[in-house]
Structure 1
Amino acid sequence: MATGRAGSGAGNTAKRSFGRADRAVHRERNRMMARTKQDRRSYSAGEWGRNRVRVFPDPKTGIFQIEWRENGRRLTRSLKHRDWRRAKRQADEAAAGLATYEPNGKAVAEPEPLTLEGLFDIYGEEVTPTKGSSSRMHDRAATAMFLDFLGRNRRPETLSRRDWDRFIRARRAGRVGPSGQPVSDQTIGRDLTFLMAVLNWAARSRDEHGRLLLDRNPLKGLRKPIEKNPVRVVVTNKEYRALLDVSRRVGWRFHVALVLAHETGHRIGAIRHLRWADIDLDGETIRWRSEHEKTGYEHRTPLSAKALAVLKQAWRRSPGIGDAPVLPSAKYPLGCVSSSQARIWWCRAEQLAGMERKHRRGWHSLRRKFASDLMDQPLKVLCELGGWKNAKTVLNCYQRPDEGQLRKALEARRGAHD
């Protein structure tokens, strides 16, 4: 009997232990389900089949979406914010609106008036990510600047010539902008170009209901300030030779980039992103991808003997196939050299060459040298070699005849009259 009672007690103890374990597992499962529901929280208002509305966060961005049904179709649009309480309130308001206003049996949710903050948010989510890194940085800085200056809740359609002129005056005086310093008309023009791009895009883009974000660009036709005497530095032959002499001391990547910039006339951004799949050493050609060209113009150009030679040197240094970078990053060999590293190289080379620092002399001044060196070539040929889509841009911004070319022209004129 004693043995039986002892065995029975042990069995009851085991049952209680298993029971506690089961309850612990059950509580943990409930906590996990609660966390999952909280992460996937949504809120519904209205009646099924009549005016049901649901709000929920986008799993990737966290921005709340509103969902409803119209003629059996499920429709969704972004609320363009991450405020949970505000999203619930909007669901209640939308459901109430759908219940009281049902023309021809159709449920229509009236959108909130578009503000500048909402417009810039949409543009920043849909357009800015398609741009290059420097353009993305400028978009973000310009967005913050315009929202602070014009007001976050300002309606875009109310912008006028007065706002345009006020911004120009304030930017020139340094009263607006991240630096707090006066800036040139060229910088102001770049800022206003971004604002015009946002408004033009909004005037061509429609929401989920097919309505234009803006009926028109309220600032269309206004002129940006233009510098009367813009500084556009051209690297001289003497300066280029000085940089070339010290280029290998800076590093083999800088030497290759410098020669390619001089021989192809392309932007350093396009050169940094070159991959071995773009280089045809046998055919002696190079492909410039549209995503790395400012104009979005994909084209192929022949390689000069000097450009071909440095590319072969680069291949021996960093052999690669396919999408391996021609100029790999020192820290991340599978990635391309960064723009900041390219600027550091240039400054280091100027120091080693004993060159006095000159404002706005940099990689882009080699592109101007390329256009000026080939001034005697047909514009169509020059544009194709350098990747320019507009010959007017070459004439206005890139070609700069030097004194030798001017004297040669005068001598040719005198010879024609002898």
Structure 2
Amino acid sequence: MMARTKRSRRSYGAGEWGRNRVRVFPDPKTGILQIEWRENGRRLTRSLGHREWVRAKRQADQFAGGFVGPEIGNRVTTEPEPLTLGTLFDIYGEEVTPTKGERARRSDKVATRMFFQFFGGDRDPATLSQRDWDRFIRERRAGRIGPSGKPVGDRTIEWDLTFLIAVLNWAERSRDERGDLLLDRNPLKGLRKPREKNPTRVVLSEAEYQALLGVARGVNWRFRVALVLAHETGHRIGAIRQLRWSDIDIEAGVVRWRARHEKTGYEHTTPLTAEALAALEEARRMSRGIGDAPLIPASRDPSVSVSRSMARIWWERAEVAAGLEPKRGRGWHSLRRKFATDLMDLPLKVLCELGGWKNAQTVLRCYQRADEGQLRKALESRRRVRT
């Protein structure tokens, strides 16, 4: 029978009850970590002499496994163990990842496992170099590493390396219990990440939106509400799925976007159009939601929001019902690009506030696209000025 491990914010336990159970926990007054175990029926406690949570958990595992004995508390004042990539990822996962949104937390865990397996947990992070960087890009691009086991594009590789750089940058700014920096410098700082040369950024056309809207109610009333809100607010489907009735003020005609559901972590409030308010009234009639109930509930469990996969399935069904030819990149995010493009004449500051963008450059680079009509209009305006 394998040893059970229990994690919580206040303590960490390893081993089996009645046999080799060990627990570490912080002293409530000093914060210094303590280790506790039973010996001949007596409960014994000893100070570990430090506040390094990841290190304390490792010591508890070693104690439970019989690799070290009660003298562990007297040995921790020696020279600190060298920082390994595995330890660095553990610390980052304990202290930084929990502060992120749900999707980012999942992404961090997947990326951590991938880099841990590729570089090795015992690798000294200070020894990472250009050769490791280039080798990772080659192997990831070919599909020889990664959770899917399939080749991936430069955009995915860019996301992976952005996470790795973030961990190393954080280590460069963070200190251990002795006041020493975890990492003297980021060895990969300044290396160029691969970038997709011609990324597929489809902007949903007005005709396509009207076609989807025409079949939306037949797909599911929830899909129609989500479709209208995505079109009218310009927000991500992830944020729209997570809306609660407590976020909506129909009388004032505004909606609150919670920081934890926004990719940028930016909490803000935006006004609602007449079309959006009509969709919300429909949602209230269909779900009778109040208080903190989900605005777009799951079909099987109205107490939780509809899943991301179900939203994607609805979109695919609507495309088929509307007779739209499949097009790579046409999905929920194409509505966000349509929003930014439709409101291209607005000042960027106003557009960013409406759509929840923190960086105006992101809007210009990734979301707005001038069509032929706008280009001709601009040329006509120039001709009038010259005349």
Whether TM-score is above 0.5 comes out as yes
Identity of aligned residues (%): 63
Which residue of the other structure, out of 61, 70, 90, is the alignment partner of 1:83?
61
TM-superposed CA distance for 1:221, in Å, is 1.9
Q: Secondary structure at the match of 2:364?
A: helix
Per the alignment, do residues 198 and 86 of structure 1 end up closer, same or farther by CA in structure 2, a change over 3 Å counting? farther
CA distance in 2: counterparts of 1:41 and 1:226, whole angstroms: 48
Which residue of the other structure, out of 184, 188, 192, is the alignment partner of 1:223?
192
Code of the residue aligned with 1:182 in structure 2: it is: P
TM-superposed CA distance for 1:92, in Å, is 6.1
* Matched ranges for 1:17-416 at <5 A: 36-38=17-19, 40-41=21-22, 55-56=35-36, 68=47, 77-79=53-55, 80-81=57-58, 83-84=61-62, 88-90=66-68, 94=72, 97=75, 108-416=77-385
| Cα-to-partner distance string for 1:297-319 (whole Å, 9 max, x where unaligned) | 11111111101111111112122
TM-score, structure 1 as length reference: 0.78
CA distance in 1: counterparts of 2:80 and 2:72, whole angstroms: 9
Whether the 8 Å contact between 1:279 and 1:286 is mirrored in structure 2 is yes
Whether the 8 Å contact between 2:54 and 2:90 is mirrored in structure 1 is no
Unpaired runs of at least 5, structure 1: 1-34, 44-52, 58-65, 99-107
TM-score, structure 2 as length reference: 0.84
Whether the 8 Å contact between 1:94 and 1:109 is mirrored in structure 2 is no
| Cα-to-partner distance string for 1:42-93 (whole Å, 9 max, x where unaligned) | 69xxxxxxxxx96459xxxxxxxx96266xxx85643344734576545567
Whether the 8 Å contact between 1:284 and 1:308 is mirrored in structure 2 is yes
Whether the 8 Å contact between 2:35 and 2:48 is mirrored in structure 1 is no
TM-superposed CA distance for 1:187, in Å, is 0.8
Q: Secondary structure at the match of 1:83?
A: helix
| Cα-to-partner distance string for 1:4-50 (whole Å, 9 max, x where unaligned) | xxxxxxxxxxxxxxxxxxxxxxxxxxxxxxx854474469xxxxxxx
Q: Would you tell me which structure has more helix in proportion to its own residues?
A: 1
Unpaired runs of at least 5, structure 2: 1-15, 25-32, 38-44
CA distance in 1: counterparts of 2:18 and 2:181, whole angstroms: 36
Aligned Cα root-mean-square deviation (Å): 2.5
Per the alignment, do residues 277 and 166 of structure 1 end up closer, same or farther by CA in structure 2, a change over 3 Å counting? same
CA distance in 2: counterparts of 1:238 and 1:312, whole angstroms: 25
Code of the residue aligned with 2:237 in structure 1: it is: I
Matched pairs, number: 355
CA distance in 2: counterparts of 1:304 and 1:67, whole angstroms: 63
Q: Secondary structure at the match of 1:78?
A: helix
Code of the residue aligned with 1:68 in structure 2: it is: S
Higher relative contact order (CA 8 A, sep 6+): 2
Q: Secondary structure at the match of 1:286?
A: strand
Whether the 8 Å contact between 1:290 and 1:297 is mirrored in structure 2 is yes
Moved over 6 A (4+): none
Code of the residue aligned with 2:122 in structure 1: it is: N
